[in-house]
Chains A and B, each alone.
Chain A
Amino acid sequence: MWEVASRAGIWPRFLFPSPTEVLQTLAEGFADRTFVFGVLASLRRIFLGYAISLLLGVLLGLAISRNRLIAETLGSLILGLQTLPSICWLPLALLWFGLNESAIVFVVVMGALLSITSATESGIKNAPPLLIKAGQNMGATGGRLLIEVVVPAALPSILSGMKQGWSFAWRSLMAGELLYGSVGLGNLLTVGRELNDMSQVVAVMLIIVVIGLAADYLVFSRLERTMRRRWGFEAS
C-alpha cells in the first residue's frame, strides 16, 4: 500500500519515499558502514546511560524507602522532577559537561533514573511485611535482608520501572542526538533532513523503532514474563 501510494505520485518523491527506496538506503547505509557506526554510537550511549541510571535509581530508591529524612527531601523533589521531560536537562548538561558525550549520557541517565527510582521505592514500600518478617526470623539482617528479601520482594515493581525507564532513556537519547551533532542515529536523522534525503530519514526512523522494540521484547518483556511465571502471576 505504502509502495502504491508513493508511486501514485500524489506527493513529490523526495517527501514520500517508496519502501524499495528505503530498503535500498538501508542496504547502502549498512554497506558503507554509516548506519553501523550510528547504531553502535547510539547503543554505546544508551547502555552506558542506562546502566548508570539503573544502579543509581535502585540505590536512590533504597535510600528513599529506608530513610525518612531522605524521603522527605529527595522524595518530593523526584516527584516534581518527573514531570520534566528529560531533554530539558540538555542545556544544564551542556553547561556542566560542555558539548560532549557526557552531556548526552547525562540526559539519558536523567531519562531513566526517575522512573527506576520511584518504582524501586514503591516496590519496597509495598513489599509484603510478612515476607520481611520471615526473612528476619530466619536470620537475615541489615544489608543481607535488603538484598535477599526486600529487593526480590520489590522485583515486580522494579522491573516495570526498568521497562518504563528504558523507553524514556531511548527517547531522550534520540532527542539529545537530534540536537547535538555527533555520530549517532539522531544525527543521521538530522543529516537526512539537511540533505533533503527523505528515504534516509525514514530508514533511520525504522532502525530506531526496531531497536526500541527489540530491547522491549528480547530483554524486558522476557524478564517480566520469567518473573511472572516464577511467582505464579500467570500460567506457564
Chain B
Amino acid sequence: MNGRRVTFGGTQPPPQEMPTHSDLEPEPTSSQSLLTDRRSFSQAVVIAPPNPVAAPESKLTLRNVCKNFHTKTGKFNAVQDINVEVQAGEFLCIVGPSGCGKSTLLNIIAGLEKPDEGQALVNGRPIVGPGTDRVVIFQELALFPWLTVLKNVEFGLRMKGVGKREREEKALHFLKMVHLTRFSRCYVHELSGGMKQRVALARALAIDPEILLMDEPFAALDAQTRDILHEELQEIWAATRKTIVFVTHNVREAACLGDRVLVFSTHPGRIKREIEIRYARPRRLEDPNLVAFSKSIVAELKAEVEKVAQEELDYDWRTGEKKPVLRPRDHDVGSGI
C-alpha cells in the first residue's frame, strides 16, 4: 500500500524503552528494525491491510483517489493514488509540505471537489456532494463578513431549520467553549486572526458533524491560545467521539493530536508514510517523547521540502548546507566575556 506504516508507542510503553531518535530514522532499514523491535508489543506494528475494502465500521474511505487541475501550463497532478481508511472516532493528522494537496484532499472529502479517479466513501457510501455530516474549517476560515459572530455560528443551525431560541442557545454554548461570548455581537473584521479561527471552530462544532475536517486551523494562533485550544479540542474529541481529519504544517502538533499521522510527499501529493501514535492522552505539545519523535518526521518532511526547492531552483539546493551570514566582527561575539 502507499507508504510504510509504523507505530509509535505501545499501550503502556515503559518510559526507559521509549524509542530513541535513531529508532525512528526514516530509512527503510531502521523502520524494518523498528518493525522487528516492536513485535514484542502486542500491536506494535500494523501493516496496512492488503485489500482496502471498506470495512463496515470504516467512517471514511479514500480509494485510489487522484485529482488533477488543468492549468495554463497543462495538467497538474495535485494528489495521486491516495488510499486511506479512517475509523469512526479516529483523530487523523495530515502533514506535508505546502502545495502537496492537503486542502485538495479535504475538499474532496467535503464533497466540494470531485476526484478525477478513485472513490471517496463516507459510511461506505460514495460522496456525491457537500453535506453537514462532514464540515470543513477552511484554511482561509471563510467567515461571513455580513453577519455578526453569533450569527455566523448560528448559520448552520439556521440552515437546518433549528428554532431561534435553541439556535442562539447552542451558538452561545459553542462561543463560550472558545471564550468568545464577549464578542458575539461583533462583526468578523473586528476580531483578531486567532479569534476568527476560534469562531470558525465554534461555527463548525455547532453543526455537530460526524466528521470534522480541519485545515491548519491553529496556524495563526499564539502558543498559549493554541495550547488551550489543543486541550479543548482533545476534550471535545474525547467527549463527542467525532472523527477528525486535521491538516497541519506543524509536525509536533500532528504528533500531539493524532491517533495516526499521514506524511505527504509532494509533486504529486502522495502518502509517503503512515505513523500510528499510541501514546497516552491528554498529550502535551512539549512532551519530550513526542518532541523526539516528531524530529524524525521533520527529517522526512525536510527531504520533501528540499525536493520542491530543488525542482524550483534547478540546482543542488539543500536546507542543511546553509550557513548563517556573519559579518567578520560577529565572530568575536562573546570573546571578551
| Residues of A participating in the B interface, judged by any CB pair closer than 8 Å | 128, 130-131, 133-140, 144, 148-149, 152-153, 155, 227, 230-232
A230 touches B145 (CB 8 A): yes
Which residues of A have CB within 8 Å of B96? Answer: none
Cβ B142 vs Cβ A139 within 8 A: no
A232→B135 contact, CB < 8 A: no
- Residues of B within 8 Å of A136, CB to CB, are 112, 129-130
Which residues of chain B from 127 to 158 have any CB-CB distance to chain A below 8 Å in the complex?
A: 129-132, 135-136, 138, 140, 142-146, 155-156, 158
Q: Are A152 and B130 in contact (CB under 8 A)?
A: no
Which single member of B112, B132, B160, B188 contacts A133 (CB below 8 Å)? B112
Q: Does B44 contact A (CB under 8 A)?
A: no
- Can you list 19 A-B contacts (CB < 8 A)? A130-B142, A133-B107, A134-B142, A134-B143, A134-B144, A137-B112, A137-B135, A138-B155, A138-B156, A139-B131, A139-B160, A148-B158, A152-B144, A153-B144, A230-B145, A231-B145, A231-B187, A231-B189, A232-B187
Interchain CB contact under 8 A, B138 and A134: yes
Q: How far is the CA of A133 from the CA of B213 in the complex (A)?
A: 14
Residue B169, interface by CB 8 Å: no
Rounded to whole Å, the gap between the CB of B220 and the closest CB of chain A is: 16
Given contacts A136-B130, A152-B146, contact A232 B190 (CB under 8 A): yes
Inter-chain contact B132/A138, CB cutoff 8 Å? yes
Find out whether the CB atom of A232 lies under 8 angstroms from the CB atom of B156: no
Bound form: Cα–Cα A231–B159 in Å:
22
Contact B135 A138 (CB under 8 A): yes
| Closest residue of A by beta carbon distance from B203 | A138
C-alpha spacing A91/B322, complex, angstroms: 78
By a CB distance below 8 angstroms, the chain B residues around A134 are 136, 138, 142-144
Residue of A nearest to B142 (CB): A134
If A155-B146, A232-B145 touch, whether A144 touches B159 (CB-CB below 8 Å) is: yes
Separation of A148 and B136 alpha carbons in the complex (Å): 19
CB distance from A18 to the nearest CB of B (A): 51
How far does the alpha carbon of A128 sit from the alpha carbon of B144 in the complex, in Å? Answer: 10
Q: A149-B144, A232-B145 are in contact. Are A139 and B159 (CB under 8 A)?
A: yes
Q: Which residue of A lies closest to B207 (CB)?
A: A138
Distance in angstroms between the alpha carbons of A144 and B131 in the assembled complex:
15
Size of the chain B interface, CB-CB below 8 angstroms: 27
Cβ contact within 8 Å between B187 and A137 = no
Asked whether B138 lies within 8 Å of A133 as measured between CB atoms, the reply is yes
A-B contact count (CB 8 A): 66
Residue among A137, A140, A148 facing the most chain B CB atoms (10 A cut-off): A137
A141 to chain B, nearest CB (A): 8
CB distance from A30 to the nearest CB of B (A): 41
Q: A136-B129, A136-B130, A139-B159 are in contact. List 5 more A-B contacts (CB 8 A).
A: A134-B138, A134-B143, A135-B155, A232-B145, A232-B189
Question: Please, how many angstroms separate the alpha-carbon atoms of A140 and B129 in the complex?
Answer: 12
Q: How far is the CA of A138 from the CA of B161 in the complex (A)?
A: 12
Chain A residues with CB under 8 A of B107: 133
Which B residues lie within 8 Å of A128 (CB)?
142
Q: How far is the CA of A124 from the CA of B112 in the complex (A)?
A: 19
Q: How far is the CB of A62 from chain B (nearest CB, A)?
A: 17
Instruction: Give the chain A neighbours of B120 by CB distance below 8 A.
Output: none
Which residues of chain A come closer than 8 Å to B135, judged between CB atoms?
Answer: 137-138
A155 to chain B, nearest CB (A): 7
User: Closest CB-CB distance, B137 to chain A, in whole Å?
Assistant: 10
Q: Chain B residues near A152 (CB, 8 Å)?
A: 144, 146
Interface centre among B155, B158, B159, B207, by most chain A C-beta atoms within 10 angstroms, is: B159
Q: Is B110 an interface residue (CB 8 A)?
A: yes
Q: Which of A133, A139, A144, A231 contacts B146 (CB 8 A)?
A: A231
- Contact residues in B for A135 (Cβ distance below 8 Å): 155
Q: Which residue of A lies closest to B190 (CB)?
A: A232
Give every chain B residue within 8 A of A131 (Cβ-Cβ): 142, 144
Bound-complex Cα distance A144 to B143 (A): 17
Q: Which 3 A-B pairs have the closest CB atoms?
A: A232-B189, A134-B142, A138-B156
Which residues of chain A have C-beta atoms less than 8 A from B145's C-beta? Answer: 230-232
Report the Cα distance A105→B143, complex, angstroms. Answer: 41
Residues of B within 8 A of A230 (CB): 145-146, 187, 189
Tell me, in angstroms, the Cα distance from A152 to B148 when the chains sit together. 13
Partner of B156, one of A133, A139, A155, A227: A139
Q: Residue on A with the closest CB to B158?
A: A148
Residues of A within 8 A of B160 (CB): 139
Question: How far is it, in angstroms, between the C-alpha of A128 and the C-alpha of B145 when the chains are bound?
Answer: 11
Interface residues of B in 178-205 (CB under 8 A from A): 187-190, 203
Whether B140 lies near A130 (C-beta < 8 A) is yes
Which chain B residues border A138 with CB–CB below 8 Å? 132, 135, 155-156, 159, 203, 207
**Least CB separation from B144: chain A residue:** A131
Bound: A148/B129 CA distance, A: 19
Give the distance to chain B from A157, nearest Cβ to Cβ, in Å: 13
Closest to A136 in B: B130
Beta-carbon nearest neighbor of A134 in chain B: B142
Question: Smallest CB–CB gap between A118 and chain B, Å?
Answer: 22
